[in-house]
Structures are given as structure tokens and as C-alpha cells.
Amino acid sequence: MRVGLLTGGGDCPGLNAVIRAVVRKGIEAHGWETVGFRNGWQGPIEGLVRPIGLDDVEDILTRGGTILGSSRTNPYKVDGGVERIRATLAEHGVDALVAIGGEDTLGVAKRLTDDGIGVVGVPKTIDNDLGATDYTFGFDTAVHIATEAIDRLRTTAESHHRALVVEVMGRHAGWIALHSGLAGGANVILVPERQFSVDQVVAWVERRFEREFAPIIVVAEGALPEGGQEKLLTGEKDAFGHVRLGGIGTWLAEEIAERTGKESRAVVLGHTQRGGTPTAYDRVLATRFGLHAVDAVQDADFGVMVALRGTDIVRVKLSEATAELKTVPLERYKEAEVFFG
Ligand code: F6P
């Protein structure tokens, strides 16, 4: 059997651990030939393919990013995309695909399976917002990076009696903000799931200053003040003609400075949260996902995604995998409020 691998969407620590596990088990346990497609779905569309053997995956377990490259190409948005994938697979004798990606990549994997191409999905995202799995690899690493940053920012904030706003990733879900905020002892945590009152944030910040401590505010990039996006519009247009949103972290730091008269700084962690070596937890989860994806391909159980449920790796239908975004429940958020201010 010849099996192709690809990684799609934003990268994430642990992708290489999945690739290594699939190649290793596929070759050693089942005598597969494994090939890698470059840059997500662009690879099979454009025939960007090369064999991957045991030597290629020898030292990649600890490496961040993806040796295959990634892109957000969607074959359903490319002229003749699906037919070109079919032709590439036929030309190279590829029997099945393992697609490692987030919501978009897995959505394509589902449609391709419906269109008769055998795909098994492996979930990834640092945002941890895929509904069908308890955790995605990459999340733990991102939380570690953000927590370390909070720890470092706290000491400089204390020295200068400043408020520090730390903006973390999370467009639709506040998992990184909630977990890093709890782990780093943040004094305010703001998530996209709940619009926040700037007056309330200012009150918490002032209370913190009154007790002579420096406030640390962790804000997810998708969090919004009450009144919504309009408050953040800068009026500038980006390259696509869309009105640009001011970054929430910078906006909030300015509001805090203006309303409290205290110095305030914003730090946007951005893509540092996606780079570098995965934590041990993410290496293990990614490896287990890879091993179980091989089993699904071997069973010809296509149209499924491997997922973590409790401590077990299970298979779920790809339709279920992409049906619902997993956001932070209100009760989980409220648990943290006792630490605010
Ligand atoms: O992977 C999800 C994510 O990390 C989001 O939290 C973030 O908004 C986005 O990717 C940014 O990705 P890019 O800059 O690669 O488009």
C-alpha cells in the first residue's frame, strides 16, 4: 500500500511527531510505502510529492513546524482541484491519504472522502477549539510559551509599576488565554466567548494597583469589548480593502493608561506560540494520533478522524469532527474570576 501525508492550515508544534509516527508504523508494521505532499492540499493538486522513508523522520520528533510545509489551499476553491488531486494520486499510485490539519483541512478531507478519495484525518490546532477531541496537540506547547511569557512580564511590570496586557492567540475560542492566564496567575483574563466591560477591567486594574501590585491582563486576540468590533476599527484599509481592526491588546493597554493614569504596555505573543519544539505532552499526543491514524488506514476506515476522549484515542466521523467549534463554557470562565483584580 502507498500512503500519502500532508499538513494543512496554520502550523503547530507536534506535526512532525505525527509524520514520524505514521511513517515509522506504516513501514515497520505494515510494509507501506509513504510519500509526502508539499504545502497542504497544494501538494496533491500540483503534484508536489516525494517519498518519505525512515531516514527522513529520524530526527524530527522534537522539531517544530512541519517538514512537509503547509498552506491554506482549498481544492474546492481551485479550478478542477479535486480532479487534479485524483489524477496525482493515480499517477503516483497513492491508495490513501493521512491529512493533518484543523477545521478547514478536515472539512476538505470529509468532502474528498464523500467524493471517493480515502482520507483519514488527524486534528491539530494550538487553539484547542475542535469539538470532537478533548485536546489537540500544539495547545499544551502554546500554553507553556504564553505562561512563561506571563511569568517574565510580571517581574518587569512589578519593577515599573505598570499594567501589562498580554495578547495571546485564539480568534474564536479563549482556551489559550484561560489556561495560560490561570497558570500565570493573571489578574484579568478576557476571552472571545464573552464580551467584556472596559469599566470592569479598569476597576480590577485599579484594585490591583491600590494593593501595590502590577496588574497582568491576558486577552485572547478575538476578545471584544461590549459594543463589539466598531470600537476597534482603525479606519485604515488592508491590502484586501477591509477596514483594519486595531489589535485588542494594544487598544486595551491604551484604554487602561488613559482611564487610570498609570503606565500600561501591550505585548502581542503572536506566532511565537506556534513555533519551536513541542512539549512532552504534545509529542506523546501527536505520536499516538499518528499511530492510530495508521490503524484506521490499514482498516480502510476512511472519513474518520482520530481523537482523544479521556485517555483513549478513538475514531470519530469527519462530519462530526468539523460540526462544532469547542469554545470555553461560561462556567469554566467564571471559575477563574475569583482571581481577577
Ligand atoms: O492556528 C490558529 C491560529 O493560531 C489563530 O489563533 C490565529 O489567529 C491564526 O492561527 C493566525 O494564523 P496565520 O497568521 O498563519 O494566518
pLDDT tens digits, the chain, 341 residues: what are they? 999 999 999 999 999 999 999 999 999 999 999 999 999 999 999 999 999 999 999 999 999 999 999 999 999 999 999 999 999 999 999 999 999 999 999 999 999 999 999 999 999 999 999 999 999 999 999 999 999 999 999 999 999 999 999 999 999 999 999 999 999 999 999 999 999 999 999 999 999 999 999 999 999 999 999 976 666 666 566 666 655 556 899 999 999 999 999 999 999 999 999 999 999 999 999 999 999 999 999 999 999 999 999 999 999 999 988 888 999 999 999 999 999 99
**311 among annotated binding-site residues:** no
**126 among annotated binding-site residues:** yes
Q: Whose CA is nearest to atom 13 of ligand 1?
A: 10
Q: Among 307, 2, 304, 9, which residue's Cα sits nearest to residue 132?
A: 307
Q: Among 93, 112, 116, 126, which residue's Cα sits nearest to residue 15?
A: 126
- CA 10 / ligand 1 centre spacing (Å): 6
Q: Whose CA is nearest to atom 8 of ligand 1?
A: 171
Nearest-atom number in ligand 1 for the CA of 170 is 6
ipTM: 0.95
Q: Return the axis-axis angle of helices 280-298 and 15-30, rounded to nearest 10°.
A: 40
Report the residue among 124, 136, 171, 272 best suited for mutation to probe ligand 1: largest number of ligand atoms under 8 A from its CB: 171
Nearest-atom number in ligand 1 for the CA of 125 is 1
**134 among annotated binding-site residues:** no
Question: Residue 305: what pLDDT?
Answer: 98
**169 among annotated binding-site residues:** yes
Report the residue among 106, 127, 172 best suited for mutation to probe ligand 1: largest number of ligand atoms under 8 A from its CB: 127
Question: Residue 231: what pLDDT?
Answer: 63
**Alpha-carbon span 128 to 141, nearest angstrom:** 11
Quick one: which H or E segment has residue 28?
Answer: helix 15-30
Question: Residue 74: what pLDDT?
Answer: 97
Question: Residue 227: what pLDDT?
Answer: 78
Q: Which residues line ligand 1 (CB under 6 A)?
A: 10, 125-127, 169-171, 221, 274
Question: Residue 322: what pLDDT?
Answer: 83
Q: Whose CA is nearest to atom 11 of ligand 1?
A: 10
What is the radius of gyration, based on Cα positions, of the chain?
Answer: 22
Contact 274, 11 (CB under 8 A): yes
Report the residue among 169, 240, 248 best suited for mutation to probe ligand 1: largest number of ligand atoms under 8 A from its CB: 169
Q: Whose CA is nearest to atom 12 of ligand 1?
A: 10
**127 among annotated binding-site residues:** yes
- CA 30 / ligand 1 centre spacing (Å): 36
**Alpha-carbon span 237 to 276, nearest angstrom:** 32
Question: Residue 208: what pLDDT?
Answer: 97
Question: Residue 245: what pLDDT?
Answer: 56
Question: pTM here?
Answer: 0.94
**1 among annotated binding-site residues:** no
- CA 158 / ligand 1 centre spacing (Å): 31
Nearest-atom number in ligand 1 for the CA of 221 is 8
Question: Residue 188: what pLDDT?
Answer: 98
Contact 125, 138 (CB under 8 A): yes
| Counts for the chain of helices (H) and strands (E), in that order | 11, 13
Q: Which residues are catalytic?
A: 127
